């Protein structure tokens, strides 16, 4: 997972840094005021509604499979963009497909929790603190690595700072610079996505979770009993907390209904009966 996080962060940083350069020198013209806005707004639009279909897919197929398929879709989208990186329609189509494929990357935090459970199961220690520290280190150094790679590429390819060559017209970059910027914004993600999908293929922790959780609960129960304590499993604790929250919400609902009835001169029993009837119909429909 650390290798995955490093790859993910470096890729994200290089894409972020190279975006304005790509829009200024490859896809559009320098400081035109529209290219980057259109690419960012339209290309990333699927992320908004995509989140609503992500978790149902994860629950049906599992985190690892959804991430693998998503990364491959995103890689194919980057391949589409490479066919004509100076075409706005091609870039918009590719960016929208990429956004949908890249959406499962946000599931990796949940997969990290599964990995921590496996470490506890296998090594009998919790590595939450160490993992958080490593994650912070990775996020920090990836910024420097991404910026270093991109700036070195610009320098080696002969990048020229923007300057006016005539009234309202800026200079253009040479073919090598345009090629490197395209490589940074499109090809780097394509390569990284392929590697990340490969990493996910070998990360089969999710398949072992039922047995891992069973063993961990048994181990924790034995340790609690050895200390003379009553063990409550995470599932039981979550269920108890959920029941408590539901009870508190119901208490507040009744109080609010009573206050509304008193204010408007309504009969509380009648209003409560209406509510319960609507609730029963809603539950029947859900079933």
Residue ranges of alpha helices (H) inside the chain are 2-22, 35-43, 46-61, 63-83, 88-102, 108-123, 128-157, 175-182, 188-202, 209-226, 234-264, 268-286
Domains of the chain and CATH, by start? 2-214 (1.20.1250.20), 247-286 (no CATH)
| pLDDT computed for residue 237 by the predictor | 82
With 0-12 / 13-18 / 19 or more C-beta atoms within 10 angstroms meaning exposed / middle / buried, residue 222 is exposed
| pLDDT computed for residue 92 by the predictor | 94
With 0-12 / 13-18 / 19 or more C-beta atoms within 10 angstroms meaning exposed / middle / buried, residue 227 is exposed
Instruction: Assess whether pLDDT exceeds 90 at residue 126.
Output: no
What DSSP line would sit under 146-177, residue for residue?
A: HHHHHHHHHHHHT-----EEETTEE----HHH
When pLDDT is averaged across residues 33-62 and rounded to a whole number, the result is: 85
Summarised one tens digit per residue, pLDDT across range 174-231 is 999 999 999 999 999 999 999 999 998 888 888 888 888 888 888 888 888 888 888 7
Q: Which residue has the higher pLDDT, 74 or 284?
A: 74
Summarised one tens digit per residue, pLDDT across range 137-157 is 988 999 999 999 999 999 999
| pLDDT computed for residue 221 by the predictor | 82
Cα 81 to Cα 55: distance, rounded to the nearest angstrom: 28
| pLDDT computed for residue 122 by the predictor | 83
Cα 37 to Cα 41: distance, rounded to the nearest angstrom: 6
Instruction: Assess whether pLDDT exceeds 80 at residue 235.
Output: no
When pLDDT is averaged across residues 256-280 and rounded to a whole number, the result is: 89
Cα 55 to Cα 65: distance, rounded to the nearest angstrom: 12
Within a 10 A sphere around the Cβ of 218, how many other Cβ atoms?
12
pLDDT band at 119 (very low <50, low <70, confident <90, very high): confident
pLDDT band at 95 (very low <50, low <70, confident <90, very high): very high
| pLDDT computed for residue 23 by the predictor | 94
| pLDDT computed for residue 148 by the predictor | 94
Summarised one tens digit per residue, pLDDT across range 156-167 is 999 999 888 887
Instruction: Assess whether pLDDT exceeds 90 at residue 59.
Output: no
Task: Note whether 139 and 89 are within 8 A (CB).
Answer: no
| pLDDT computed for residue 182 by the predictor | 96
| pLDDT computed for residue 48 by the predictor | 74
Q: Who's near 140: CB < 8 A, 6+ residues apart?
A: none
pLDDT band at 121 (very low <50, low <70, confident <90, very high): confident
| pLDDT computed for residue 275 by the predictor | 87
| pLDDT computed for residue 76 by the predictor | 96
When pLDDT is averaged across residues 256-263 and rounded to a whole number, the result is: 90
β-bridge partners, 84:
none
Summarised one tens digit per residue, pLDDT across range 79-91 is 999 999 999 999 9
């Amino acid at each position: 997972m650390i290798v995955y996080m490093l790859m993910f962060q470096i890729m994200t940083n290089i894409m972020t840094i190279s975006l304005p350069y790509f829009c200024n020198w490859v896809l559009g013209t320098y400081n035109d005021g529209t290219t980057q806005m259109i690419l960012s707004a339209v290309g990333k639009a699927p992320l908004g509604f995509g989140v609503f279909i992500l978790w149902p897919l994860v629950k049906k197929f599992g985190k690892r499979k959804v991430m693998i398929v998503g990364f491959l879709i995103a890689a194919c989208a980057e391949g589409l963009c490479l066919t004509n990186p100076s075409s706005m329609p091609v870039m918009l189509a590719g960016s929208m497909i990429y956004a949908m494929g890249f959406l499962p990357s946000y599931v990796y935090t949940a997969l990290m929790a599964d990995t921590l459970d496996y470490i506890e199961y296998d090594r009998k220690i919790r590595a939450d603190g160490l993992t958080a520290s490593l994650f912070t280190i990775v996020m920090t150094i990836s910024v420097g690595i991404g910026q270093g790679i991109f700036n070195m590429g610009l320098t080696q390819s002969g990048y020229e700072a923007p300057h006016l060559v005539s009234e309202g017209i800026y200079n253009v970059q040479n073919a090598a610079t345009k090629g490197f910027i395209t490589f940074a914004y499109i090809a780097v993600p394509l390569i990284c996505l392929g590697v990340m999908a490969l990493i996910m293929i070998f990360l089969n922790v999710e398949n072992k979770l039922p047995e891992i959780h069973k063993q961990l609960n048994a181990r924790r129960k034995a340790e609690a009993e050895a200390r003379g304590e009553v063990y409550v499993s995470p599932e039981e604790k979550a269920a108890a907390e959920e029941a408590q929250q539901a009870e508190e919400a119901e208490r507040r609902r009744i109080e609010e209904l009573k206050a509304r009835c008193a204010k408007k001169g309504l009969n509380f029993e009648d209003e409560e009966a209406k509510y319960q009837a609507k609730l029963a119909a809603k539950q029947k429909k859900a079933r």
